[in-house]
């Protein structure tokens, strides 16, 4: 792909952020990562592996900002969990499961060897 075309695509996709060492994440697990400084425009992400693919969600519960999704095993291998509110969210779509609240923000992910690119 020509470099100019790649740059144009990045304008529409969002800015990619490299997450290093995520390739070893086991199936049905999640890992929280901080991107930049959360107090200066950075964010918290949760990277999950579901059905062999990496998924990325905003790490803050959409119900209320005092909740954060957990690291480790996903519930039923496919739901991220907020222990502060006892809510579950589908790791692929961000939709709540068995709760009435907004969806978690999801991001596009591209695997690159042992790393991944998350388009914010």
Confidence of residue 13 (pLDDT cuts 50, 70, 90): low
Q: What is the pLDDT of residues 29-86, one digit of tens each?
A: 999 999 877 677 778 999 999 999 999 999 999 988 888 999 999 999 999 999 998 9
Tell me the HSE value of 95 on the side-chain side, using a 13 A CA sphere: 4
Range 17-119: architecture per CATH: 3-layer Sandwich (2.102)
Contacts of 40 (CB under 8 A, 6+ apart): none
């Amino acid at each position: 792909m020509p470099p100019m075309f790649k740059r144009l695509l990045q304008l529409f996709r969002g800015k990619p952020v490299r997450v290093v060492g995520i390739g070893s994440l086991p199936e049905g697990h999640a890992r929280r990562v901080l991107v930049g400084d959360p107090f200066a425009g950075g964010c918290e992400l949760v990277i999950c592996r579901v059905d062999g693919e990496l998924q990325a969600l905003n790490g803050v519960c959409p119900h209320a900002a005092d909740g954060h999704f957990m690291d480790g095993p996903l519930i039923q291998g496919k739901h991220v969990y907020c222990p502060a509110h006892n809510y579950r969210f589908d790791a692929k779509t961000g939709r709540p499961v068995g709760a009435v609240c907004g969806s978690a923000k999801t991001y596009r992910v591209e695997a690159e060897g042992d790393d991944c690119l998350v388009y914010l």
